[in-house]
Amino acid sequence: MAEKSRSKTIPLLALFIGILCLYFPVKTTAAAALEADPAVDLLYLTLVWPGTFCYFGQCCKPTTSEAYPPANDFLIEEMKTMDQTGNIIQNCNETCRFSINVDPMPSLIPDLYSHWCNLTCPCNNGFSNWNNTWCTYGQCSQLNQTDFFMAVFNMTAKANLLEVFSANDIAPSSSTSYRLRDINTALMANLGLSTHIECVTVIDKTSVITLVSKINICISSDGQSFINCPFENPSKSCNREVFFPPFYINKLKDCDDDSVSSGGFIKMATEKHLAM
């Protein structure tokens, strides 16, 4: 009798375990790791044209502009981490520590102030841009902090967008419009299929015009080379004719003491920068 009872119990126990697995599936170590740390297939560098960003004069001088004025060039906005389909991968760590004192970060300070500045008001020193980009996206990449920031600057310099435009007779202008096709042709000849253009449409007096706003560039996950963007441009904001307005540094608003939100220069020896 005991043996028959056990023989009936074993199938019932197996059935019970099977039901539990259906409702509470067991995750393998590999599956759990994949869910916790999604694969980053590419980096997505966004460069913004300040002439468009400040078109209506609503920009302020960075607190560091006297020594390091903003570059009259495309400025760095951020570099996202993405998968092959264009989904953004972000906030991979609950805590983030960004340090401006890690070598060779101090040597990048002039470029950070000039090419990765923040022209929004109230005046600020741009630190929040760098901190947010690293903590939101950089920590998801395969790069450490130093390599991530070096990749941003190296690939921005390599893209050399303003020179690419100039070589194709595309110059900032308040009155001349350009065919979007010509801008795409210039980018294609130099950067291949690695770029996506964004535009903004504004009402200028009595007319509606479209301005070149940002150029997004697809970069390999190791930060070393341009790659063909594996997904279509998510922005459909550009018309056939677009403007490329000039950037006037001398028209940036001056800062009052009360308008400074993020302090002045970074004090390398004493000031600690930690993201909470």
Closest among 220, 199, 218 to 210, alpha carbons compared? 199
Exposure pattern of 14-49 as b/e (b: 16+ CB <10 Å)?
eeeeeeeeeeeeeeeeeeeeeeeeeebbbbbbbbbb
Mean pLDDT score of the chain, rounded to an integer? Answer: 84
User: What is this structure's pTM?
Assistant: 0.81
Report pLDDT for 37.
Answer: 60
pLDDT tens digits for range 186-210: 999 999 999 999 999 998 778 899 9
pLDDT of 29 strictly over 60:
no
pLDDT tens digits for range 136-175: 999 999 999 999 999 999 999 999 999 999 999 999 999 9
